[in-house]
């Protein structure tokens, strides 16, 4: 067992990280957020050149054919730089659905487009986690009726993949008759979420879909959101440490007060072990299938809690500055906030973990 990243993985993560650092500084993020642009052209083109959208797409279909740990460490960089680009839906959950459940023709049609970044795919599976009032999608003679909430990577989607109540998966064209689609502005303005309402909408089923495939999509999505929080949290710690080393009060830098040092140290002590948890969860998706669902739950719920702690503590270290739009710390704060709720909040996810271990009905 080798508990660490390979040389290739390190290079991959550094490459994406460096690209985002250079091409997606806070001003760019702000620009995209202010104009509700969730697929900013220049940035997305660069992401495509790096091959990121095809990370999980098999090589036969033009992708990189890499694993979930690779995807997780990329998502970590996305969180670190609050990157306003599609990923969890388009580049992770959609390829799983198509690869495992799609017909040959569907794969031929969509996977290469996903790999090249030509297709954005919105993914609606939230109702498979917990049904909210009058949400949920029913398929009847190949037509969909109902409502899908919190569709991930909703903006500018070329196609949606939606799970119905029987765990069948469907491809839906954004301009399908009877489909109405609304943006859902969330506190996090760097990622797009939307709502789909179906009134007898024509859809194309993925023939191989079943409950396990939907579960795998959700597991993978959860690990990615955990990785996102890991990256965002890491950045919030670094920002707090830098600020503590610059800001002066009482004639000295605030980082010289033990109370402030300990806030920073506690954040570090809380977040660092999470890295291993997320890595192992990604690794389990590829190599230890029996552990995968449980690890996905653990990573998601634990990172939600630690992420919240880090977000509020880093804000505390920044004093009044932490609350300003100008400094922009809130982009990370809110990214962590949305990560927490997408694909199940920690309370829900812990319940699932208990069930997986046979402790709860």
| Binding residues vs another protein (CB under 8 A) | 126, 129-133, 149-150, 184-189, 193, 195, 248-251, 254, 257, 259-260, 263, 308, 312, 315-316, 319-320, 322-326, 330, 333-334, 337-338, 341, 344-345, 347-348, 350-351
Residues 6+ apart with CB under 8 A from 50: 15, 16, 19
Distance CA 360, CA 212 (A): 20
Distance CA 178, CA 244 (A): 55
Does residue 185 touch ligand FAD according to CB under 6 A?
Answer: no
- Write out the DSSP string of 241-261: HHHHHH-EETTEEGGGSHHHH
Name the token pair of 310. Answer: 């880090």
Number of residues that bind ligand FAD (CB under 6 A): 12
- Beta 143-152 vs 193-202: how paired, if at all? antiparallel
Distance CA 318, CA 324 (A): 10
Q: Is 207 helix (H, G, I), strand (E, B) or coil?
A: coil
Residue whose CB is less far from ligand FAD, 18 or 248: 248
Does residue 323 touch ligand FAD according to CB under 6 A?
Answer: yes
When binding is defined by CB under 6 A, the residue of 247, 261, 312, 355 that contacts ligand FAD is 247
Residue with token string 């990923």: 87
Choose from another protein, ligand FAD, none: what does 275 bind? Cβ within 5-8 Å by kind. none
Residue whose CB is less far from ligand FAD, 177 or 259: 259
Q: How many Cβ atoms are within 10 Å of 5's Cβ, its own excluded?
A: 15
Name the token pair of 29. Answer: 């993020």
Q: Is 345 helix (H, G, I), strand (E, B) or coil?
A: coil
Residue whose CB is less far from ligand FAD, 8 or 316: 316
Q: How many Cβ atoms are within 10 Å of 315's Cβ, its own excluded?
A: 19
Residue whose CB is less far from another protein, 143 or 261: 261
Residue whose CB is less far from ligand FAD, 3 or 250: 250
Span interacting with ligand FAD, options 19-27, 28-36, 228-236, 251-259, rule CB under 6 A: 251-259
When binding is defined by CB under 6 A, the residue of 118, 272, 316, 360 that contacts ligand FAD is 316
When binding is defined by CB under 6 A, the residue of 12, 236, 254, 349 that contacts ligand FAD is 254
Radius of gyration of the chain (CA): 20
Choose from another protein, ligand FAD, none: what does 124 bind? Cβ within 5-8 Å by kind. none
Residues 6+ apart with CB under 8 A from 200: 143, 144, 145, 178
Span interacting with ligand FAD, options 36-44, 47-55, 196-204, 256-264, rule CB under 6 A: 256-264
Residue whose CB is less far from ligand FAD, 27 or 325: 325
Does residue 249 touch ligand FAD according to CB under 6 A?
Answer: yes
Give the DSSP letter of residue 313.
Answer: H
Binding site for ligand FAD (CB under 6 A): 247, 249-250, 254, 257, 259-260, 316-317, 319-320, 323
């Amino acid at each position: 067992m080798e508990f660490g990243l390979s040389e290739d993985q390190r290079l991959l993560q550094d490459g994406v990280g460096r690209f985002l650092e250079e091409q997606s500084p806070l001003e760019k993020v702000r620009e995209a957020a202010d104009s509700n642009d969730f697929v900013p052209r220049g940035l997305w083109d660069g992401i495509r050149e790096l091959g990121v959208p095809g990370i999980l797409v098999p090589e036969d279909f033009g992708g990189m054919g890499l694993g979930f740990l690779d995807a997780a460490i990329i998502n970590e960089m996305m969180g670190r730089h609050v990157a306003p680009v599609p990923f969890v839906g388009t580049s992770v959950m959609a390829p799983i659905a198509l690869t495992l459940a799609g017909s040959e023709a569907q794969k031929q049609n969509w996977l290469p487009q996903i790999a090249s970044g030509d297709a954005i795919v919105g993914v609606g599976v939230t109702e498979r986690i917990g049904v909210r009032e009058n949400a949920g999608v029913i398929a009847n003679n190949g037509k969909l009726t109902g409502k899908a909430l919190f569709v991930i990577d909703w903006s500018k989607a070329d196609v949606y993949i939606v799970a119905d109540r029987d765990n069948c998966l469907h491809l839906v064209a954004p301009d399908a008759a009877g489909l109405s689609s609304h943006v859902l502005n969330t506190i996090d303005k760097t990622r797009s979420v939307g709502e789909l309402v179906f009134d007898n909408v024509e859809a194309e089923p993925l023939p191989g879909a079943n409950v396990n495939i939907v579960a795998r999509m959700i597991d993978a999505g959860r690990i990615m959101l955990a990785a996102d929080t890991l990256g965002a949290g890491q950045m919030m710690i670094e920002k707090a440490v830098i600020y503590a080393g610059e800001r002066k009060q009482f004639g000295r830098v605030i980082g010289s007060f033990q109370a402030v040092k300990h806030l920073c140290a506690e954040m570090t002590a809380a977040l660092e072990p999470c890295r291993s948890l997320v890595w192992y969860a990604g690794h389990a998706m590829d190599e230890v299938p029996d552990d995968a669902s449980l690890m996905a739950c653990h990573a998601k719920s634990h990172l939600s809690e630690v992420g919240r702690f880090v977000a509020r503590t880093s804000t505390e270290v920044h004093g009044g500055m932490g609350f300003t739009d100008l400094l922009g710390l809130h982009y990370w704060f809110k990214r962590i906030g949305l990560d927490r709720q997408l694909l199940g909040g920690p309370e829900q996810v812990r319940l699932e973990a208990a069930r997986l271990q046979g402790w709860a009905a």
